């Protein structure tokens, strides 16, 4: 069973979330941000809040150039759905739709319940020449917790 996708992004300032999420309807989600070490040029944090509407989230990831060192980003359909997600089993039992985890400025794992969205993300990764693209499956998923640290 496909759980998600992993790949390696360039270690530089750019628009990685915009590239990854291109053609995904991100406005329909409420986005929660934890493990936040995502920096704009100049050193300010990209995300100043813990939760964003889809419209606000999209505005931020499109208009700023940033460097993702560590991030744990989750998508929920409604504010009332927001819950703590610590591992894959929590994710599957929750109403969370997507989890994006970035570690060490390069390594990204995206877990997604919508397989059509996951296929779009994979196409975006290929289009942007990300390295080491592979599906995360129940056989190769070694992540014990959904933490970027």
144 within domain boundaries: no
Total domains, the chain:
1
pLDDT tens digits, residue range 112-143?
A: 999 999 999 999 999 999 999 999 999 999 88
147 within domain boundaries: no
146 within domain boundaries: no
DSSP string, 85-112: --SHHHHHHSSEEEEEEEETTTEEEEEE
Q: What percent of the chain has pLDDT over 70?
A: 99
Question: Given this model, what pLDDT does residue 36 score?
Answer: 87
Residue 77 DSSP code: S
What is the domain range of residue 124?
A: 2-137
Contact status, residue 78 vs residue 30, Cβ threshold 8 Å? yes
Tokens 């359909």 found at: 77
**pTM exceeds cut of 0.75:** yes
Contact status, residue 132 vs residue 86, Cβ threshold 8 Å? no
> Phi and psi (nearest 5°) for 34?
-135, 175
């Amino acid at each position: 069973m496909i759980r998600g996708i992993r790949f390696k992004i360039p270690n530089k300032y750019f628009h990685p979330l915009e590239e990854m999420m291109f053609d995904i309807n991100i406005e329909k989600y409420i986005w929660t941000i934890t493990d936040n070490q995502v920096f704009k040029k100049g050193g300010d944090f990209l995300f100043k809040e813990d939760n964003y509407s889809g419209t606000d989230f999209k505005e931020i990831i499109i208009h700023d150039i940033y460097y993702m060192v560590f991030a744990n980003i989750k998508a929920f359909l409604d504010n009332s759905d927001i819950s703590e997600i610590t591992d894959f089993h929590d994710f599957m039992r929750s109403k969370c739709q997507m989890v994006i985890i970035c570690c060490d400025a390069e390594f990204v794992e995206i877990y997604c319940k919508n397989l059509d969205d996951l296929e779009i993300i994979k196409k975006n990764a290929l289009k942007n020449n990300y390295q080491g693209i592979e599906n995360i499956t129940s056989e190769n998923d070694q992540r014990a917790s959904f933490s970027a640290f």
